[in-house]
Structures are given as C-alpha cells and as structure tokens.
Amino acid sequence: MEPLNKLVLCLCVALAVSWRGAIVDAVIVDGLQVGFYSRTCPEAENVVRDVVNSEVAANRSIAPGLIRLFFHDCFITGCDASILLDESPSGDVPEKESSANGFTLIGLNTIDAAKSKLESLCPRRVSCADILAFAARDAAVAAGLPNYDVVAGRRDGERSNMDDLPGNFPVPGHHVPRLTELFFQRGLTQEDLVVLSGAHSIGGAHCFMFSNRIYGFSDAADVDPALDPAYAARLRQLCPPRKPDDDPERAPKINFDAVSGDRLDNSYYAELLARRGLLTSDDALVQDPQTRAMVEAFARDDALWHRKFAEAMQKVGKLDVLLGEGKGQVRKQCRLINRPPPQQQPQWPAHPGFPWRPPQFPRRPRRPIRRHPVFDLINGFFRGFH
Ligand code: HEM
Ligand SMILES: *[C@@H]1O[C@H](CO)[C@@H](O)[C@H](O)[C@H]1NC(C)=O
C-alpha cells in the first residue's frame, strides 16, 4: 500500500472511531454500471419509468415521495432497499417504523408495482435497490429535472433496524453544523447538503414537523423571528394549534414551496432567501454564512442547481452499495427478504397406510412492532435523535 493511502486509511479509521453513534461511516462505492441490465433485463429501466410516469400522472405527490424514499434508503446502511422491508430476519424493528419514516413515507406501492412487473418479465434479476434508484430519477424527471444516468448493479440488503437512525439521520430541528457533520459521515459534502435540500422544492411537511416555529417558539417570541411574518401567519392558519388527542396522520401537510410546489426547480432557494423556509433545517441554510452563499448561487442559476442536483443524486446512489453475487440478494418482493432455501426434509421410511406428514414446527411468534408514541412526532423533534 502506498504510504499516502496508509495515512488516509489511518485518518479514516481514527475519524470513524472518534464519531460514536455513527453506524459505520458510509463510503461512495465504485463499480456500478450504467446499463447494468442491458443483457439480463433490457426493459428494466423502461418498465420502472412507465410505472413511475403513470403513477405520477395519477397523483403528483408520488414524485416527492419516491425521491425521499431513495434518500432515506441510501443515507442509512447504504442503497440496499432496507427502507422497503416490512420486517427484518433478525427480528429488529425495521427502518420503516422509525419516527423519521412511518406513515410519512409515500411511494412504496409504486415500487411494489414496478417490482411485480419486472418479476414477471425477468424474475429475480432486478434488485429493489436499483428499482428505487431508477424510480427516484424518473420521479425527479417527471417533476422537471433534465434526465440523468443512473448506474445499477446494487444488491438488496438483509438488515433493517430503526435504531440505526437516531444519531445518524437529520431531523427538522437541526442546524447547519450538525447537518454538515451527518452528511460528512455519509461521505457527502456541505455543498451536497445544500444541493440535495433543494428536493424540498416539491412535496411538503406535516404541521408537527415545524409547529415549534409557529407556536411557543421561545420565551421571547411565540413565532420564530426568522420567518417572514406574513408567511408565519399563513402557516398558523393552515396549522391550527395541536390538541392533545389529535391524530398525527390527519395533520395537514403543507407544501415546502408555495410558489411552484409541483416543479423541481430552484425556487426553493429564492423562498429561503425570502425567509419562507418551512423547516428549521431549511431556514438554517440561509442563516449560516457558510451555506448562504451557495443558496444565493442556486437561487440565481436554475441550470447550475439542476446539474448539481443530478450529480448529488448520483453520488447518493453509490453510498455503501452491495456489489457482486456474493453480497446481499435480489429480493423477490421488495418488502421481504427471500427465505433461505428449504431445509433438508428428514427421510423417514415410507409406511404404506401411514402417509408421512412433515413435522409441524411451532411458528416463531412475530415480535410485536414497537411504535413510537404520538408525542415523539410533535413539534418537529424526534426522541433519541440528536
Ligand atoms: C437536510 C436534512 C433534511 C431534513 C431534516 C429533512 C426533513 C424532512 C421532513 C421533516 C419532511 C416532511 C415529511 C412529512 O411531514 O411527511 C421532508 C420531506 C421531504 N424530503 Fe426531506 N429532509 C432533509 C433532506 C432531504 C434530502 C437530502 C432529500 C432528497 C434528496 C429530501 C427529500 C424530501 C422530499 C422530496 C420531501 C417531500 C416528501 C413528500 O411530500 O411526501 N429531504 N424532509
Ligand atoms: C395522492 O397520494 C397521497 C399520498 O399517498 C394521498 O395522501 C392522496 O390522498 C392522494 N391523492 C389522490 C387524489 O388520490
């Protein structure tokens, strides 16, 4: 090994050890290919695109949902479709159940639809992780982003644990230093943070994700003084004060971008500059002098942001991917890992008149899914996330 490589390795190990709370620092993996399915399933990308286009045409809110799913998948244990699992073989409560995900995830059915088409066309070829990466691109393109290439060859993982999120995942209350640190642990830069946050140009957030900014913000101010007062007043109309027994699933959802909420464009950045960033983590990007200059640059130049966004999505798509036949698997269904091959049946001598029946093993009881109490979700703070 070259001495320089050794030094870099030592530095990385030292950094990895010094950050407790990180699962494992993510790395950008090389080795995926554009056109990976050109021989094994040539229609793969077209099938995903058609499914995404028809679902988005029926309901525009699928597009932001798919982009967010991809980000949430790749940011925790890499792009391995761990976000899609309904249960994990080890009995861990899956990522899907985390308070950062749960009922706020949208687009899961679209992935299922694409997967079932692909299973009938080329069974066990196209991984769920690749479907998600294609679908996120197609959703972005459906929302107005110029097309970009998506490398493929990711295998599906077998781990999904919601306990991987706290301490590793950004939450709406975070400011730039913490956000930067979390992105850095995932091999992403501060510019990636600013560029990717522009995904908040489409879709929206439930009132409880930012209600701390419009009610009881501080002892000195009921409303976050960083917010444009007219915008804050509008938000208070759309999001009435929460009552204790309100069902969070019925909370109103507010568009991030009041100007062009359906189009993936740079108006997100102009809105930030106009003090109309919805989440604390959005607004933080203009409050912080390091990131403010980038916000200004992207607000001025839509084409620049489009290009940077596509590049950053490509980078996200290479986070800690499982590569090669030996790693992971290609799931049959995106919500479940494939069962291990059936155990050898015991060979009993056949007795005529006493047909052999396979022994009945008691089914292992499924662990009850631990759900976060409702109050974990309110006020934009997630218990256990720091
Ligand atoms: C920087 C830290 C980030 C934080 C704290 C954050 C937080 C959030 C929150 C709280 C929501 C609202 C969920 C809901 O109420 O249903 C949301 C929505 C969304 N996020 Fe992020 N996010 C971040 C970065 C990103 C990134 C990097 C992407 C993608 C590249 C992304 C894509 C989206 C999209 C598209 C939505 C809208 C989803 C929908 O309407 O269904 N976010 N985000
Ligand atoms: C569109 O999808 C969203 C998210 O799944 C859902 O809440 C909404 O009701 C759907 N809208 C229509 C018109 O079906």
CATH number where 235 lies = 1.10.420.10
289-346 confidence digits (pLDDT tens)? 999 999 999 999 999 999 999 999 999 999 999 999 899 999 999 999 998 766 665 5
The residue whose CA is least distant from atom 7 of ligand 2 is: 61
* CATH number, residue 148: 1.10.520.10
Separation between Cα atoms, residue 278 and residue 272, nearest integer Å: 8
162-185 confidence digits (pLDDT tens)? 999 999 999 999 999 999 999 999
Residue 385 domain-assigned (yes or no): no
Q: Are residues 131 and 223 in the same domain?
A: no
Q: Are residues 208 and 283 in the same domain?
A: yes
Query: 33 pairs with which residues across the strands?
Result: 152
The residue whose CA is least distant from atom 5 of ligand 2 is: 106
Band the pLDDT of 384: cuts 50, 70, 90: low
189-215 confidence digits (pLDDT tens)? 999 999 999 999 999 999 999 999 999
Q: Is the pLDDT of residue 270 over 90?
A: yes
What is the rounded average pLDDT for all residues in the chain?
88
Domain count within the chain: 2
Could you write out the DSSP letters of every residue in 163-195? Answer: GGSTTTS--TT--HHHHHHHHHHTT--HHHHHH
Residue 3 domain-assigned (yes or no): no
Q: Are residues 181 and 285 in the same domain?
A: yes
Residue 350 domain-assigned (yes or no): no
Q: Is the pLDDT of residue 8 over 60?
A: no
Q: What is the pLDDT of residue 339?
A: 81
Residue 121 domain-assigned (yes or no): yes
Residue 358 domain-assigned (yes or no): no
Residue 250 domain-assigned (yes or no): yes
Q: Are residues 119 and 47 in the same domain?
A: yes
User: Residue 319 to residues 25, 186, 359: CA-CA distances in angstroms?
Assistant: 10, 7, 44
Q: What is the pLDDT of residue 259?
A: 81
Separation between Cα atoms, residue 323 and residue 320, nearest integer Å: 9
Q: What is the pLDDT of residue 4?
A: 52
Q: What is the pLDDT of residue 21?
A: 44
Q: Is the pLDDT of residue 363 over 80?
A: no
Q: Which atom of ligand 1 is nearest to the CA of 253?
A: 15
Mutate to test the pocket of ligand 1, among 62, 68, 186, 192 (most ligand atoms within 8 A of CB): 68
Is the pTM value of this prediction over 0.85? yes
Which residues are known to be catalytic?
A: 72
Band the pLDDT of 26: cuts 50, 70, 90: confident
Segment 127-139 mean pLDDT: 98
How far from each other are the two terminal CA atoms of the chain, in whole angstroms? 38
Separation between Cα atoms, residue 274 and residue 371, nearest integer Å: 38
Q: Which one is predicted more confidently, 254 or 345?
A: 254
Q: Are residues 114 and 201 in the same domain?
A: no
Q: Which domain holds residue 291?
A: 176-317+376-380
Q: Are residues 150 and 76 in the same domain?
A: yes
Residue 328 domain-assigned (yes or no): no
Q: Are residues 156 and 269 in the same domain?
A: no
User: What residue numbers does the annotated binding site for Ca(2+) cover?
Assistant: 73, 78, 80, 82, 95, 257, 265
User: What residue numbers does the annotated binding site for heme b cover?
Assistant: 200
Q: Are residues 57 and 135 in the same domain?
A: yes
Q: Are residues 184 and 100 in the same domain?
A: no
Q: Are residues 142 and 221 in the same domain?
A: no
